Amino acid sequence: MPIKSVQEFLAASVQKDLSGDAFELESSHLLEVKLNGRVWAKAGSMVAYQGGVKFVRQGIMEQGLGNLLKKAISGEGMQMMKMEGQGRVYVADAGKKITLLRLAGDTIFVNGNDVLAYEDGIQSDITMMRRMAGMMSGGLFNMKLHGNGIVAITSHYEPLTLPVSAQTGPVFTDPNATVAWSGGLSPEVVVDMSLGTLLGRGSGESVQLKFKGEGWVVVQPYEEVYFQKTH
């Protein structure tokens, strides 16, 4: 990589406005939020901001009583924060690649750890795969996102979308590599102990998600392991 002068570095890395949307990627790993009201973002994801912005961790009783217990037991990865006011906020998550999706009445499911931010017009709900409890440390909690607005999701490296249809048959994925799927799909948890034994893992690929029907599923070339804090 050639050595740059200070002026060349500043010109290449300076903040840019290329669209009028509230969400704009400054790079594939850094999201700029043009805040004028309220936006939800992953707690701890702010790296810089300008203007009059207030950050509030999502209240324990917010967005419906049904999420109360789920939030209490789903760990830090599912914690969201409100960003309110006017200004610019820059958010990122451990250098993961950011993808922006515009929902127009659509419903999608996203692994809870892979939700970076979403506009206030998006409704969210935490969903649980009950059969997976006790089988593995990750992939149990997901977020259902529905409505109108932009959603920012993250992945390790480039994501891959696999179509699901009755013609091609079901798609099986590793829960720790599964990022998102379309709202019309309801994954089934399946266990293949022989596969886990073959690969020398006690609780890895032996647990899979089975997607069947009509839709799509997004995977990443990385098996993300989630750790929950203990108190």
Beta-strand relationship, 115-119 and 141-155: antiparallel
Domain-located, residue 10? no
Domain-located, residue 109? yes
**Of 10, 19, 11, 51, residue with least CA distance to 150:** 19
Provide the domain count of the chain.
1
Q: What is the pTM of this model?
A: 0.84
Domain-located, residue 12? no
Q: What is the pLDDT of residue 130?
A: 60
Q: Tens digits of per-residue pLDDT, 69-78?
A: 455 444 444 6
Q: Tens digits of per-residue pLDDT, 121-149?
A: 999 998 887 655 545 444 468 999 999 99
Give the residue with greater pLDDT, 175 vs 75.
Answer: 175
Q: What is the pLDDT of residue 74?
A: 46
Domain-located, residue 106? yes
The CATH number of whichever domain residue 26 belongs to comes to 3.60.160.10
Domain-located, residue 15? no
